[in-house]
Amino acid sequence: MEDKGKYYLTTAIAYTSGKPHIGNNYEIVLADSIARFRRKEGYDVFFQTGTDEHGQKIELKAQEAGVTPREFVDNVAGIIQGMCDMLNISYDKFIRTTDDCHEKQVQKIFKRMYAQGDIYKGAYEGMYCTPCESFWTESQLVDGKCPDCGREVKPAREEAYFFRMSKYADRLIRHINEHPEFIQPVSRKNEMMNNFLLPGLQDLCVSRTSFKWGIPVDFDPGHVVYVWLDALTNYITGIGYDAEGGSTEQYKKFWPADLHLIGKDIIRFHTIYWPIFLMALDEPLPKQIFGHPWLLMNSGKMSKSRGNVIYADDLVDFFGVDAVRYYVLHEMPFENDGNATWELIAERVNSDLANTLGNLVNRTISMSNKYFGGVVA
Ligand SMILES: [Zn+2]
């Protein structure tokens, strides 16, 4: 087989606030299919997935459950990795943001950005959304609520570190314009340019003092690193990046990533903040970020509070793993949201897998038995 070179792809890392549903598992099945396809084509593939384990939301969930945050995330990360294995996901690395080597690198990265002046200390006043861990200005709110999740926000002030986003904005705009394949599908590129980049990027608050469950800023106790600065760097720490110049051979071989596969709801973090963090570290940018649509349940977003959640393990018990993988891949176009119900999955399994493919295989075998003695010449 022809050697096509390396291919590094990643999924978003799953947030360990609870057991993921089939709408969350869609992405890993899609990524797995791409990884398998690239391997067959002759690429040297590295496929990374994992879990995003810090933040106030997890601290609160652990408190409610009466366990430590560490116990809480150990349990959920175990469930998530178990689901990947159940779905036959051929990942090469499962990274956890509580892994020691990841935490050490995030501290080094933060310190380096501070030392070179990309991060500075200031204070933040604004409207704060707890679930999103994001500050907003009054003008960014939508009907007085968080523009990302639509929940209530409250006024808050805290001393914090900020990242000078504006310093790199022009370079990022140029990169996006010169690399039309960088953000896909193209509709998401327009959204990022028009809503965030062209109006002017605000500096990003990259530390928190309102909770403890995060990676501490080692030179300023009481501050923990903003969960997105922590989480996004998994794509480089997982393959051996070192902020002090000691990156591994594996890192030198596989970075930059060929594909970051993510949900459309987190495209802003991946196409604006992440590339700018990489520019600050003087590392090349990933080749492509693909923001996929959602898999909906009865055409509504799946959520526990709505009670319309379907879990992959229930589906696999009933239909088998390949039927479930087939369904999510078949149902999901790349631009629009897909739909999942028990009835639709049963219908798809019966019509495509049993009637069409099953029938084809059955007839082919019968005829090869009848006319060729069961031997394919
Ligand atoms: Zn929010």
pLDDT tens track for 343-374: 999 999 999 999 999 999 999 999 999 999 99
308 three-state secondary structure: coil
Distance from first CA to last CA of the chain, Å, rounded? Answer: 24
Please give the distance, rounded to the nearest whole angstrom, from the Cα atom of residue 151 to the centre of ligand 1.
5
CB atoms inside a 10 Å sphere around CB 107: 18
Please give the distance, rounded to the nearest whole angstrom, from the Cα atom of residue 362 to the centre of ligand 1.
53
Please give the distance, rounded to the nearest whole angstrom, from the Cα atom of residue 235 to the centre of ligand 1.
24
CB atoms inside a 10 Å sphere around CB 186: 11
**pLDDT of res. 184:** 94
182 pLDDT higher than 90: yes
**287: CB partners within 8 A, 6+ apart:** 181, 182, 256, 257, 258, 259
Q: How confident is the model at residue 126 (pLDDT cuts 50, 70, 90)?
A: confident
**pLDDT of res. 2:** 74
164 three-state secondary structure: coil
**pLDDT of res. 49:** 98
**pLDDT of res. 299:** 67
Please give the distance, rounded to the nearest whole angstrom, from the Cα atom of residue 123 to the centre of ligand 1.
21
Please give the distance, rounded to the nearest whole angstrom, from the Cα atom of residue 329 to the centre of ligand 1.
29
Please give the distance, rounded to the nearest whole angstrom, from the Cα atom of residue 352 to the centre of ligand 1.
40
Contact 333, 293 (CB under 8 A): yes
CA distance 91 to 286: 19
Report which DSSP code applies to 258. Answer: S
Report which DSSP code applies to 142. Answer: B
pLDDT of 309-344, one tens digit each?
889 999 999 999 999 999 999 887 667 788 888 899
The residue ranking higher by pLDDT, 312 or 303, is 312
163 pLDDT higher than 70: yes
Task: List, as one string, the DSSP characters of 169-225.
Answer: HHHHHHHHHH-TTSEESHHHHHHHIIIIITT-PPPEE-EE-S--SS-B-TTSTT-EE
Please give the distance, rounded to the nearest whole angstrom, from the Cα atom of residue 175 to the centre of ligand 1.
29
Q: What percent of the chain has pLDDT over 70?
A: 98
Q: Please name which of 94, 77, 234 lies closest in space to residue 69, comparing C-alpha atoms.
A: 77
